[in-house]
Amino acid sequence: MSSSVILITGAGGFTGRHACRKLAEKGYRVAAVVRTRASLEAMPPISGVDYYVCDMNKPGQVQEVVQRVTPRYVLHLAGKNSVSESWANPVLYAESNIMATVHLLSALRRYKEVMILIAGSRLKFDLSLPVEPTHPYGLSKSIQEIVALAWGKLFQQRIILAEPSNLVGPGPSTGICSLLARHIAALERGEAKQSFRLSSAQATRDFLDVRDAVDAYELLLHQGVPGEVYPVCSGVERSLGEVCKSFISLARVECPFDEGTRGKHADELSAASIVQPEALMKLGWSPSIAWETSVGDILQYFRREDTNPI
């Protein structure tokens, strides 16, 4: 087992792409898992990154990849993360977020020294309260966390949970910041004319640059305590109206936005409490990328999206 090999699931996703590139640049041998051949063909070649096609819902495929790679570290990013989609296909979310995690942990059982970090979600429900999930996605992530922590105790595996806030930055993402930047870039090219519509300008969220999140994940894989849950966030709540104004201030054309009514299954944090990343800060981590830098980088990515993939 090589001490520098890291297995990254969900490598074709927003965070996964950044993690592959950044950790490879730091000298890790990255084994990047994507779900399909089509996903593999869409991935940019990166020195130090080897790609593997694996459906995480198929335990045989997961077992085969783990045996081939024999990683020292595992960063589990694979899964589904759309609140609205989870209402339409709750079984898929249970399979992708719960059972895929079980398949991975089972395949890693014989490798007791492997450090495993599982990316959870702040959209889980409060496990100390009666079971009242607000959507199937939150339910799936809550159960994923319970299973992962219990699995670690049952089988003496070194499993850490990270709970990221809303990750932003350059790259393919369906988050509010990327949607807004894509809209502005289209307006600047003359390809869009309508206003950008917000469900609520007053709703607040914690935003963290994905590149800072990857740094946090790496630190936790080396210094995190197995069985612990670590918030990975900025500790700053911003209203969606403020977010819009940040992007509009950098636009080259007029960019109006409207505030609408929230849908039944709004894809956002509801009454989220402010969380500080105290445990991470004690390990020496703090966000290094300013909000204004993230905004500028996201907008620039969508202005030149076709020529500079992440």
Please, which pLDDT band fits residue 282 given cuts at 50, 70 and 90?
A: very high
Distance CA 66, CA 43 (A): 21
Instruction: Give a yes or no: residue 31 inside a domain.
Output: yes
Q: What is the CATH number of the domain that holds 186?
A: 3.90.25.10
Question: Above 50 in pLDDT, residue 112?
Answer: yes
Residue with tokens 């939150």: 138
Whether 244 and 148 share a structural domain: no
Q: Is residue 129 part of a domain?
A: yes
Q: What is the pLDDT of residue 265?
A: 38
Q: What digits encode the pLDDT tens for the residues 44-82?
A: 999 999 999 999 999 999 999 999 999 999 999 999 999
pLDDT bin (cut points 50, 70, 90) of residue 258 is: confident
Both 115 and 16 in one domain: the answer is: yes
pLDDT of residue 71: 98
Residue 128: per-residue pLDDT: 60
183/107 same-domain check: no
How many domains in the chain? 2
Q: Is residue 226 a part of any domain in this protein?
A: no
Q: Is residue 310 part of a domain?
A: no
Domain that holds residue 181: 176-204+237-274+289-305
| Domain stop point among 99, 132, 164 | 164
> E strands along the chain, which residues?
5-9, 29-34, 49-53, 73-76, 115-119, 158-164, 166-168, 196-198, 204-209, 229-232, 237-239, 257-259
- Mean pLDDT value of segment 77-90: 95
- Kindly report the pTM of this predicted structure: 0.93
Q: What's the pLDDT score for residue 270?
A: 45
Answer whether residue 216 is part of any domain: no
Which band of pLDDT confidence, cut at 50, 70 and 90, is reported for residue 192?
A: confident
- Decide if 66 is inside a domain: yes
Give the pLDDT mean for 99-103: 99
- Categorize the per-residue pLDDT at 193 as very low, low, confident or very high, splitting at 50, 70 and 90: confident
Lowest mean pLDDT among 68-72, 103-107, 115-119, 275-279: 275-279
Is 159 in the same domain as 180?
no
Whether residue 196 sits in one domain with residue 155: no
**Is residue 156 domain-shared with residue 195, that is, in the same domain?**
no
Q: What's the confidence (pLDDT) of residue 127?
A: 58
Size of the chain, expressed as the number of residues it contains: 310
Residue range 227-232: mean pLDDT, rounded: 97
C-alpha closest to that of 222 among 108, 115, 109, 75: 115
User: Rounded to 5 degrees, what are φ and ψ at 17?
Assistant: -65, -45
Judged against a pLDDT cut of 70, whether residue 309 lies above it is answered with no
The confidence score (pLDDT) of residue 130 equals 57
Cross-strand partners of 51:
32
Coil, helix or strand at residue 161: strand
